[in-house]
Structure 1
Amino acid sequence: MRKKTARRKTTVVRKPYRKASSFSTRILRFLAICFFLLLVFGLVYHYRDGLAYYFSFKSDKVLEGTTEEKRISDVRNYQVLEKKEGKAVGLDVSEYQGKINWDDVDSLENKYPIHFVFIRATVGSDRLDKRFKENWLGVKKNKFLRGAYHYYRPNENSLEQAELFIKTVSLQKGDLPPVLDIEKLPKNQSIERLKIGLRRWLNAVEAHYKVKPIIYTGESYYEDFLKEEFNDYLFWIANYNFYREKMEEDWLFWQFTEKATVPGIKGNIDVNIYNGDLQQLRYITVE
């Protein structure tokens, strides 16, 4: 006789209803989209004048001619220049710009006159900029205020670097003070030894030209390594961030972009603003 097999009842486990959770997700997604759209709208509104200029929407700013004549490096550049109207504006150049036609160099965006140009003269302890001499003479011929800068190599002898700069650059009355460009950290020495080297270069150059040099560097480098111990010097600060639209009071110059275009120069160029007008800029030149 067969035994009856007892069947077990299968218990069905139902998942909890997630309607509330799904609703919360949709709300969060909706809020995120709204926030993004508000952010985009805010940026467009903030840069409205620059965007209008860029796309030539404003009738009084329509630029005629080729694409090159209409090109605006970026909207932020226009925004910065508009806010700094009245300040002295200038460039800095090196051999990387190739041969420059200084007769054509005039203004930015056909609106902002160029007042000064810094020219790279030397690099480290043994290298001359290949186009320093022709740029040095070309800037003078075009009647811009001119200045020379040295690109400092942290791992090379500081006094030899100063000597090379002094042999290469002959400053005249009306020229801007010499500039020390420091951007790199040392590989085989401490930060303290680097600072000693920088101070030696600055002292040697000041003793020769009888004028205090200017220090060029990035904003982070300035804040982290130079601001406190070199507070007896004036600084030229580089910061290209889109949210930075004004210069600090303790900056002498602000390099706010590396992506501008100027007639007579091929490719992109650095643009700088002096923390004052042209007349005030003349006060700091070599006497």
Structure 2
Amino acid sequence: MATKGLKLILASSLAWTGLVQAAVQGFDISNWQTSVDFEEAYSNGARFVIIKATEGSDWIDASFSSHYTQATQAGLIRGGYHFARPSSSSGATQATFFLAHGGGWTGDGITLPGMLDLEAGSSGQCWGLSTNAMVAWIKDFSDTYHEKTGRYPMLYTNPSWWKECTSNSKVFSQTNPLVLARWASEVGTIPGGWSAQTIWQYDDSYPYGGDSDLFNGDEAALKKFASG
């Protein structure tokens, strides 16, 4: 209970000079979260959730459908995310797989654009790809998603991964919203030429299930972002 209280206080009070005037609480989940209280999350201020849908080109999260339905019923803005496996198949192949299994977007005001989760995996920090090859892989995924939905996917990353695996590429800073992973009390340095993050994952736990996120703006801005 004490931990939950501290996290709720943190979520309601976090702010960073020059980058945000308001923030909206959210969270992200996957099949690892077997018990998620969507209604309590909403009652305590959460307004969005990002839900794992797929991984690579052949793995579907078994909890995605139920998570997505429950999130919708609770009144949350929701969207799917894809865990990238750049060493196993092309970006286009994985974007197409993601879109076929929950990662799509529609301008209904309650659906977030899909998120591409970029982090280390079983093939090492950068999946055996050079920085140029990694940037090309991400662009292949991003362009395919954009071609089919009209939106560019959000990119989830942390500064160290982005620096090591893309040489801090600025290619995506004008097109793709940044979901910054940094578990701390402040955002810190923004990588990749982005002027600011769209969403900040600031903690690896959330009282009602998953990780803690903040949208960089107020609720009206969140709804506008979901609407495209």
TM-score band, normalised by shorter chain: 0.7 to 0.9
Describe the superposition over 1:48-71 as per-residue Cα deviations: whole angstroms up to 9, x where unpaired: xxxxxxxxxxxxxxxxxxxxxx33
Matched, 1:161 2:94: yes
Gaps spanning 5+ residues in structure 2: where? 16-20
Match for 1:125 among 57, 65, 76? 57
Deviation (angstroms), 1:283? 1.2
Letter in 2 for 1:277: D
Contact 2:25 2:45 in 1 (8 A): yes
Q: Structure 1 residues 196, 120: closer, same or farther in 2, change over 3 A?
A: same
Q: Which residue of 2 aligns with 1:276?
A: 217
Match of 1:251 among 197, 215, 219: 197
The answer to whether the 8 Å contact 1:120/1:129 transfers is yes
Q: Which moved more, 1:156-165 or 1:221-230?
A: 221-230
Q: RMSD between aligned alpha carbons?
A: 2.4
**Which string of whole-angstrom CA distances, capped at 9 and with x for unpartnered residues, describes residues 19-73 of structure 1?**
xxxxxxxxxxxxxxxxxxxxxxxxxxxxxxxxxxxxxxxxxxxxxxxxxxx3325
Secondary structure of 2:38 counterpart: coil
Find the residue that maps to 2:151 and give its secondary structure: coil
Greater share of residues in helix: 1
Contact map agreement 2:7 2:206 (CA 8 A) in 1: no
Task: Report the CA distance between 1:256 and its aligned residue.
Answer: 0.4
Shift of 1:282: 1.1
d(CA) in 2 for partners of 1:179, 1:72: 28
Q: TM-score, normalised by structure 1?
A: 0.65
Distance in 2, Cα, partners of 1:190 & 1:246 = 26
Residue 98 of structure 1 is matched in structure 2 by: 34
Q: CA deviation at 1:187?
A: 3.8
CA distance in 1, matches of 2:214, 2:141: 25
Change (3 A) 1:89 1:246: farther
Cα 1:159–1:105 change in 2 (3 A) is same
Return the offset for 1:92.
0.3
Instruction: Give the C-alpha shift of residue 133 in structure 1.
Output: 0.5
> Structure 2 counterpart of 1:127, which letter?
W
State the partner residue of 1:139.
71
Tell me the secondary structure at the aligned position of residue 188 of structure 1: coil
How far apart are 1:132 and its partner, in Å?
A: 0.4
In 2 relative to 1, CA 103–203 (structure 1 residues): closer, same or farther, beyond 3 Å?
same
Percent identical pairs in the alignment equals: 21
Q: Which amino acid aligns with 1:230?
A: F
CA contact (8 A) 1:90 1:272 kept: yes
Distance 1:189 1:257 in 2: 28
1:114 to 42, 46, 49: 46
The corresponding residue for 1:171 is 105
The residue type equivalent to 1:114 in the other structure is A
User: Displacement, 1:76?
Assistant: 7.3
Q: Distance in 2 between matches of 1:240 and 1:145?
A: 23
Q: Which amino acid aligns with 2:206?
A: A
Task: Identify the residue that residue 183 of structure 1 maps to in structure 2.
Answer: 119
2:134 is the alignment partner of 1:194: yes
Task: Give the count of matched residue pairs.
Answer: 208
**Distance of 1:77 and 1:241 partners within structure 2:** 15
Could you say if the C-alpha distance between residues 105 and 247 of structure 1 is closer, same or farther in structure 2, counting changes exceeding 3 Å?
A: farther
**1:209 corresponds to which residue?**
149
Tell me whether 1:82 sits opposite 2:18 in the alignment. no
Amino acid at match of 1:284: F
In structure 1, C-alpha distance between the alignment counterparts of 2:189 and 2:128, rounded to whole Å: 34
Structure 1 residue 245 displacement after superposition: 5.9
CA distance in 2, matches of 1:205, 1:255: 23
Instruction: Give the Cα separation in 2 of the matches to 1:88 and 1:247.
Output: 21
The amino acid that maps onto 2:136 is: I
Greater shift in the superposed pair: 142-151 or 245-254? 245-254
1:45 aligned partner: none
Task: State yes or no: 1:239 paired with 2:182.
Answer: yes
